[in-house]
Structure 1
Amino acid sequence: MQTVNETVKEVLFAVLPITVVVIILQFTLIWLPLAEFIQFMVGVIMVTAGLILFLLGVQMGMLPVGEHIGAALPATGKVWLVVFFGLLLGFVVTVAEPDVRVLATQVDLVSAGAVSKNMLIYTVALGVAIFVGLAMLRTFLGIPLQYLLVGGYLVVFALAAFTPAHFVPISFDAGGVTTGPMTVPFILALGVGVASVLRGKSASSDGFGLVALASIGPILAVLLLGVFYG
């Protein structure tokens, strides 16, 4: 019950400010048609209810499962198996990420279908998958996180010079939307679970940094997509 109450408060504190601002603007400046304003209020109620249920589902299901999977995979003693399932889980979780779908829908709309929704979703998911697999390998090998981050962003800025200009902002937006409510909890839980087995509880911080690495993957993937399109 405490978890439910905390989640409800968290969602209300997140949704209420923008709702109050829009209501103030409605009766002072913008004066939307009544039908559109009512539609907005109904949307607010649906978003609030949806976020509450979504976050409860993440806390009750995604986080425990992610940690258990992360703890069970290293017990097999097979590095390739951990990396493979890191790739697989990174891909499928990103495909399910709502933020990625919103971005893909907008890009499809603005580009008049030139960059299709599904193409962008799978490109972003592939980028995340590769870097989650790389993060799993990093945990095994003990590679310092800063080396991968600096190297990854050097490649990003080098590749951006050869990519059509309109793909560059899309690529960085793609890196941002992967840090959404579906991908982040699962990837973090997976990383902490793997690190807690391989490096010990005292070094569970090795499981962090996965989100930073996973954000590089879609940037590179979309930049490469731009190179091919260009």
Structure 2
Amino acid sequence: MGNIKDTVFEVINSILPIALVITVLQFTIIWLPVEAFVQFLIGVLFVGIGLILFLLGVNVGLLPVGEMVGSALSKTKKLWVIVLFGFLLGLVVTFAEPDVRVLSSQIDDVSGGAIPQGTLIISVAIGVGIFVALAMFRIVFNISIVYLLAGGYALIFLVAAFAPSSFVPISFDAGGVTTGPLTVPFILALGVGVATVIRGKTASSDGFGLVGLASIGPILSVLILGVIYG
């Protein structure tokens, strides 16, 4: 019950400020039609209920299961198993990420179908999967994340030089949306689970940094998509 109460207050504190600002603007500057404003209030209610249920699901299901999966993979002591399932989990959790679908649908509309929604989602998911697998490799061999981040962003700027300019902002937005409410908790929990088993509780912080690495993947994949389409 305590978890439910905390989640409800967390969602209210998150949604209430934007609802208040829009309400103040409604009665001072913008004066939306009454029907549109009522739809906004109904939408806020639905978003609040959805976020409460979503966050409860994350805390009850995704976080503990992600950590248990990471621990179980590490106990196999097989590098290919850890890396392979790191890739697969990064891939499928991105397909489920709502932010990715919102971005892809908006890009599909703006581009008039020039960048198909399905193609963008698949490329982003593959990018995340590859870099989650790389993050698993990094945890196992205790590679400094500084080298991976520096190499990843150097590669981004190199590929960006050959990609159409219109794909550059899209690629960085794709990197941002993969750090959404579904992907982040699961990937973090997965990394902590792997690091905890491999190097003990004192090194569980090595599981962090996965989200930073994972966000490089979709940027690169969308830029490569731009080179192909360009």
Same fold (TM over 0.5): yes
Residues 101-180 of structure 1: matches in 2 within 5 Å? Answer: 101-180=101-180
Give 1:77 shift: 1.4
Give the Cα–Cα distance (whole angstroms) in 1 for the partners of residues 7 and 19 of structure 2: 18
The TM-score with structure 1 as length reference comes to: 0.99
The count of residues paired between Structure 1 and Structure 2 equals 230
**1:149-193 deviation digits (Å, cap 9, x = unpaired):** 000000101111111001000000001001100000000000000
Counterpart amino acid of 2:131?
Answer: F
Give 1:5 shift: 1.0
1:209 matched to 2:209: yes
The TM-score with structure 2 as length reference comes to: 0.99
Residues 79-98 of structure 1: matches in 2 within 5 Å? Answer: 79-98=79-98
Give the Cα–Cα distance (whole angstroms) in 2 for the partners of residues 117 and 60 of structure 1: 31
Q: State the 4+ residue runs in structure 1 displaced beyond 6 angstroms.
A: none
Percent identity between the two aligned chains? 64
Give 1:32 shift: 0.7
DSSP-derived class of the 2:180 partner: coil
Structure 2 stretches lacking a partner, 5+ long: none
DSSP-derived class of the 1:15 partner: helix
Structure 1 stretches lacking a partner, 5+ long: none
Residues 12-27 of structure 1: matches in 2 within 5 Å? Answer: 12-27=12-27
Give the Cα–Cα distance (whole angstroms) in 2 for the partners of residues 99 and 74 of structure 1: 30
- The CA RMSD over aligned residues, in Å, is 0.6
Give 1:118 shift: 1.1
**1:32-67 deviation digits (Å, cap 9, x = unpaired):** 111111111100000000000000000000001000
Give the Cα–Cα distance (whole angstroms) in 1 for the partners of residues 134 and 14 of structure 2: 34
